[in-house]
Amino acid sequence: MSTDNSTQAPRLQPAPTERNGGRILIDQLIIQGVKRVFLVPGESYLPCIDALYDHQDKIQPIVCRQESGAGYMAEAHGKLTGEPGICFVTRGPGATNASIAVHTAYQDSTPMILFVGQVGNDFAEREAFQEIDYRRMFGQMAKWVAQIDRTERIPEFIARAFAVATSGRPGPVVLALPEDTLWGKASVPDVPRYRRAHAAPTPDAMDELARLLAAAERPFLLLGGSGWTPQAARSIEGFAERFGLPVGVAWRRLECFDNHHPNFAGHVGWGMPESLRRRVQQADLLIAVGTRMGEATSEGYSVIASPLPQQRLVHVYPDAGELGRVFHPTLPIVADAPSFAAAVDRLAPARERTGSGAAYQARRAHEAHEEYLAGQEPKAAPGKLNLNKVACHVRDHLPADACLTVGAGNYALYPHAYHRFRGVGTSLAPTVGSMGYGLPAAIAAKLEDPRRTVVCFAGDGCFQMNLQELGVAMQYRVGIVVLVFNNGIWGTIRAHQEREFPGRTVALGFDNPEFSELARAYRGYGEIVDSDEAFGPAFERALAFANAERLPALLELRYDPDGIAPGMTLSGIRADALARQSEA
């Protein structure tokens, strides 16, 4: 006989046992589904470290070499999974080192939680050893910054941190942990696992979107931001196909749409080809989903003007506070990417858009994709090693689900110009342009999915900002491939310098170690490559080593520094700048 549970007395919860703050905190992380934390150990949060001892079967602690590396790994984990990446650092210097990852997570809209040890409340406001007010320090670069001053409130703060990090526009949360909170004891119940709140479009908004699509002659779909899922990507593909929409991806968000899809138009932002720039500028309807359309994507708010875009703008974003803040939209829609994708799954073209109208739109999308493909042939470059050909070789010899990571620098333009990303999880790139990101991100990607091929592109300067994290790859047997672009200069800044002050080069070059030897010091594989003919076989050897030995493999690419970007040379930039000066 069935029983109506609603008539039964509520089930009594067992009385909570007394635990110290560190154990309470780690118990909450387990409840929230955390399976991995990235940390640099510190005495300021010892009770948390001790609590991990009893839960090594549930949470894997990844011991990093420097806090920026730990933070970047947590941020990359958040990008890949959509769940907050968790990082622990000690107070003072540990927190300042980790701040670069918090800034990255904020501008990249990545869910992340940074736990920072803190002096005890009994020493607060005395400038005690390594004391910093984290509310003031992180105030403008995090969604929420708080300090847990009472042991019994730890479950409340942890649950809220997960909700804040993932709701609306995702982003970082920083929680400071005073020593007396962690060492203190309390009998407090756990808080259940958080549930993510989704913002979805209203029926009226979808009706208006349908009317705008019916009236548009040159619509363009621009995708970006975070929180994309494979299902959302498939739904958006169907939407683009039904309406004949050319699809672009925002700056460094190449994973948001399958680059092989016949509607894919290219990477919108700094360095985009003129044909794509015109297509976005001349669109009479721009549907921007998930992206803020920041400075890089809008090319300094010119291709998409602020505050009044020349295109009718449908701006779909999960945070209402962003809509109308920089760009005035024709139609603002408060929705996250999965919810919007589910809604457009049910949207069909109006009757007048069938027949010749539909064929016209499909032809426009096809033309956009053909223009994109036309730029996929490797450009010429000076010297024996052509980086354009390197990027094309990598593109043509990796599995479809391979993940590419980059930090910041002109070298990153090569994979972004030539690689055809397959969708969610295939790219990790900081839109904030932070250096040193590629190697930690590659390690995080491989830890999350050991079966996936992961390749890190890194400039010689970028790589040296976090090369010590090779120790993490060695310790945890992480078989990644690292391509170090060794030209002995701060290339991006050199290009800007030649453009603005041609021929006045100073403080932009440096001597490098032999990176291949460094890789071998970390028990990995290292090889120098300096010609087109040598790259293919070397890349094959590096992949084979990484897969077989589960250790890092590094190829040091030595090339002519004059080849500064796809289709560009430093000498050409200097010549153009000198010519402009002579005409002025």
User: CB atoms < 10 A from the CB of 408, how many?
Assistant: 22
Residue 198 lies in a domain: no
Q: How confident is the model at residue 356 (pLDDT cuts 50, 70, 90)?
A: low
439 has a pLDDT exceeding 50: yes
Is 154 found in the same domain as 295?
no
Residue 380 lies in a domain: no
What average pLDDT does the segment 139-144 reach? 94
- At which of 155, 187, 219 does a domain end? 187
Residue 382 lies in a domain: no
Proportion of the chain above pLDDT 90, given as a percent: 88
How far CA 399 is from CA of 196, 479, 494, in Å, comes to 32, 15, 35
Q: Rounded to the nearest 5°, which phi and psi values hold at 437? A: -80, -35
Please report which residue ranges of 305-454 form alpha helices under DSSP H: 337-344, 356-374, 387-396, 413-418, 438-448
Phi-psi label, residue 290: left if phi above 0, alpha if psi -120 to 50, beta otherwise: left
pLDDT, the chain, mean: 93
pTM: 0.94
Q: How confident is the model at residue 5 (pLDDT cuts 50, 70, 90)?
A: very low
Please report which residue ranges of 169-229 form alpha helices under DSSP H: 179-183, 203-215
Is 359 found in the same domain as 229?
yes
Q: How confident is the model at residue 231 (pLDDT cuts 50, 70, 90)?
A: very high
How far CA 418 is from CA of 177, 390, 485, 545, in Å, comes to 45, 10, 16, 25
Residue 430, pLDDT score: 96
- At which of 326, 343, 374 does a domain end? 374
What average pLDDT does the segment 263-292 reach? 96
Least confident of 56-60, 361-365, 394-398, 476-480: 361-365
Count of alpha carbons within 13 angstroms of residue 533, beta-carbon side = 1
Q: If we measure between CA atoms, which residue out of 353, 16, 320, 31 comes closest to residue 185?
A: 16
Residue 10 lies in a domain: no
What domain range is 286 assigned to? 203-374
Is 129 found in the same domain as 97?
yes
pLDDT tens profile 174-211: 999 999 999 999 999 999 999 998 999 999 999 999 99
Residue 128, pLDDT score: 63
What average pLDDT does the segment 538-552 reach? 98
Is 492 found in the same domain as 439?
yes
Q: If we measure between CA atoms, which residue out of 114, 111, 118 comes closest to residue 145?
A: 114
Q: How confident is the model at residue 124 (pLDDT cuts 50, 70, 90)?
A: low
354 has a pLDDT exceeding 60: no
What average pLDDT does the segment 233-246 reach? 96
Higher pLDDT: 376 or 358? It is 376
What average pLDDT does the segment 525-543 reach? 98
Residue 189 near residue 325, CB atoms below 8 Å: no
Task: Fill in the DSSP letter of residue 294.
Answer: -
Is 346 found in the same domain as 446?
no
For the CA atoms of 29, 30, 33, 34, the dihedral, rounded to the nearest 10 degrees, stands at: 60
CA dihedral for 252, 255, 259, 263, sign (positive or negative):
negative
284 has a pLDDT exceeding 70: yes
Is 79 found in the same domain as 222?
no
Cα(79)–Cα(85) distance, integer angstroms: 8
Residue 98 near residue 68, CB atoms below 8 Å: yes
122 has a pLDDT exceeding 80: no
Straight-line distance from the first to the last Cα atom of the chain, in angstroms, rounded to the nearest whole number: 93
Residue 129, pLDDT score: 64
